[in-house]
Amino acid sequence: MIKTLLIANRGEIAVRIIRSARAMGIRTVAVFSDADASAMHVRQADEAHPIGPAPAAQSYLRGDVILDVARRTGAQAIHPGYGFLSENAEFAQACADAAIAFIGPPPAAIRAMGSKAESKRLMVAAGVPTVPGYHGEAQDDALLAAEAARIGFPVLIKASAGGGGKGMRPVFSADAFAAELAGARREAASAFGDDRMLLEKYLQRPRHVEVQVFGDSHGRITHLHTRDCSLQRRHQKVIEEAPAPNLPDALRERLHRAAEDAARAVGYVNAGTVEFIVEGDDAFFLEMNTRLQVEHPVTEMITGLDLVEWQLRGAAGEALPAGWPPEPQGHAVEARLYAEDPAQDFRPSVGPLRRLRLPWPEGGVRVDAGVEEGDAVTSHYDPMIAKLIMGGMTRDGALDGLGQALRAVEIAGVTTNLALLRRLLEQPDFRAGRFDTGLIARHAGTLLAPPRPAPAAVLAVTVADWLRNQEGSPAHPWSRSDGWRLHGPAEIASRWESQGVVRQAVAWTARDGLSVSIDGGAAITVALATHLPAVTATVDGVAHRVEIDAEDNREWRVTFDGEPHALFWLDPYAPAGQEAAADNHLTAPIPGRVVAVLVAAGDAVKRGDPLILLEAMKTEIRIAAPRDGVVEALGCAAGDSVDAGAELISLLA
């Protein structure tokens, strides 16, 4: 049995592997980049070793450095988690050459399934149904355009070596093909070092259904039921569930058999996932992920299994139990909490987690997280904060429980997709099981809408906290900010901005608290009582539990009745014209690398035109023109690395 396990990963998956290894009595060794020196997985492992600078290419992708740590620590096995080196056949082979167990399939299986084109050819030979398309080696642009016309639009361009939605673009007409192909090649080259493409018929309303498979070293391969991962943004999953709902029994059985045939065709061992796109009664092979999936907890919840434990047992030569697959019990749903802004095309958000309260594991909820309050989300890695997983006897019960768990989340310091997750769980089509991979895009107007301007009650609570924060020493009356005057209470005026709306607040002390009038409206009476970590706000006699996070007495994040709001105090002494000046100077929202500069000095641009493509945190961010104008100067060039706040481009005033 394995006695020492090195985990070649970070974040929540590293923490999750440590949990299972510790329960099995296995000593764990973590590795960390300079950016992760104080990360949670480093704190929880039995020992941890530095492996290089923050960029993954200089640390978590350095297989030679990681193997050296394994040798020095006496690790008998390496678990790659997911991402990074998890599907790197060369690393798996290097582990085998060093007589260190790689927790995953053989290198040959990784190679076979690592190329989408090669995997499609193998699946056709194995009798597994595949989507019509082009999977050839010839990569001339004109040839690909001709193949797209043969297949018939719409088509899907996909990176042959890709995954996670990178280098994947739907194209709806021949006119748009060349530009989208160039963009997909650029993205694939950046993400995988390989710009080869394949083409597939783009199905209009498909579901993304996958089957968990498991193979042992004794030749047995079995499935562990289905998952549905159709709720996606940018081709990346947001909510997953198991078993996949609303599948006819015959179709579900076909998926099970096809997944086992796919795994058998490449001599698969250990945990893997075979992904399909399903439309009506048709199911087509999409790809095989030769690793553990992010969404594996929903399978664990309906089977009662610990898949990481069985990965380790399988790597030690143990055979799968005769009773597999166990019958699924109930239903499970997982939501991924990301540091990103859905209203800004899912732009990643970076910064310290000044507040992070996740629900306690009560009532069936499971929380997998790789960060704690006080940690930071950086621009170097994936912006996932946590996964919340809820089980229930029925699908509705699991969805209701997960919704309740999400309402208990408190977070401040970064923008998140929390509001989107809550809205998705209440979306009528999703609740009824009428959904596909396009649901989020179709309902973007309601699901991705920015938060509405803060209601008057929320602004009144914010004003009360703002005044409370102004309190000085009580030693003399001139430091008081409660409106006391020799000749009666005085009014205190302030201006606030919320979601682009500026409002005027006037406050004065009242017998039972603070009275606040918004834009000359009726007075709202507010009293605040602090019971850390939350605040009780009594508004016109009704008590509300709120979360308040203030930064520099200028920016407030207030969660009121479960809804987050952002409010900004407008300094009356700030220089005039700052807003207009900001429109003339476009800066990098987060640190990243400039992928492309799409304009030159002197070019005329219109509001919304893309000007700069910036890559950060596995995401391509478009910097668009905020207004019509003319480019005055460029502050960057393609290939530059830029810090947050760096000026990228300026427009003539």
| Same domain? 216 vs 185 | no
Of 549, 569, 589, which residue constitutes the final position of a domain?
569
Question: In terms of domains, do 329 and 417 share one?
Answer: yes
pLDDT at 487: 56
**Is the same domain home to 383 and 287?**
yes
Enumerate the β-bridge partners of residue 566.
557
Q: How many Cα atoms sit within 13 Å of 442 on the Cβ side?
A: 14
Domain count, the chain: 5
* Last residue within a domain, chosen from 201, 223, 250: 201
Domain containing residue 587: CATH number: 2.40.50.100
Same domain, 337 and 402: yes
Check whether residue 197 and residue 212 sit in a common domain. Answer: no
C-beta of residue 460 within 8 angstroms of C-beta of residue 521: no
For residue 221, tell me if it sits in a domain.
yes
Does 617 map to a domain?
yes
Q: How far apart are CA 488 and CA 520, in angstroms?
A: 21
Mind telling me the catalytic residues? 291
Where a domain ends, among 154, 176, 201? 201
Give the domain range for residue 95: 4-103
Match 């990784």 to its residue by tokens: 110
Residues 178 and 318 in one domain: no
430: domain CATH number is 3.30.470.20
Name 550's bridge partners: 556
CATH number, position 470: 3.30.700.30
pLDDT of residue 42: 98
Domain of residue 167, CATH code: 3.30.1490.20
User: Is residue 513 situated within a structural domain?
Assistant: yes
Same domain, 410 and 308: yes
Whether residue 196 lies inside any domain: the answer is yes
Q: Same domain, yes or no, for 530 and 607?
A: no
* Together in a domain, 420 and 375: yes
Residue 536 lies in a domain: yes
Query: What number of CA atoms fall less than 13 Å from residue 413's CA on the CB side?
Result: 19
Q: What is the pLDDT of residue 471?
A: 58
pLDDT single digits (tens) 2-17: 999 999 999 999 999 9
Both tokens of 595, joined, read: 């992928």
Note whether 550 and 588 are same-domain residues: no
**Distance of CA 231 to CAs 292, 436, 451, 615, Å?**
19, 7, 21, 24
Any domain includes 116: no
**What is d(CA 462, CA 537) in angstroms, rounded to the nearest whole number?**
10
Neighbours of 635 (CB within 10 A): 18
Asked if 597 and 558 sit in the same domain, the reply is: no
Residue indicated by tokens 């007075």:
523
CB atoms within 10 A of CB 407: 16
Task: Please report the beta strands in 148-206, taking only residues with DSSP state E, as ranges in sequence order.
Answer: 155-159, 169-171, 197-201
Q: How many residues does the chain have?
A: 653
Q: What is the pLDDT of residues 230-270, one digit of tens each?
A: 999 988 899 999 999 999 999 999 999 999 999 999 999 99
The answer to whether 102 and 96 are in contact (CB under 8 A) is yes
Q: Do the domain assignments include residue 52? A: yes
Supply the pLDDT for residue 170: 93
- Residues of the chain falling short of pLDDT 50: 472-479, 576-581
Residue 467 lies in a domain: yes
For 425-483, give the DSSP string: HH-HHHHTT---TTHHHHTHHHHSPPPPPPPHHHHHHHHHHHHHHT---TTSGGG--S-
Pair (8, 89) in one structural domain: yes
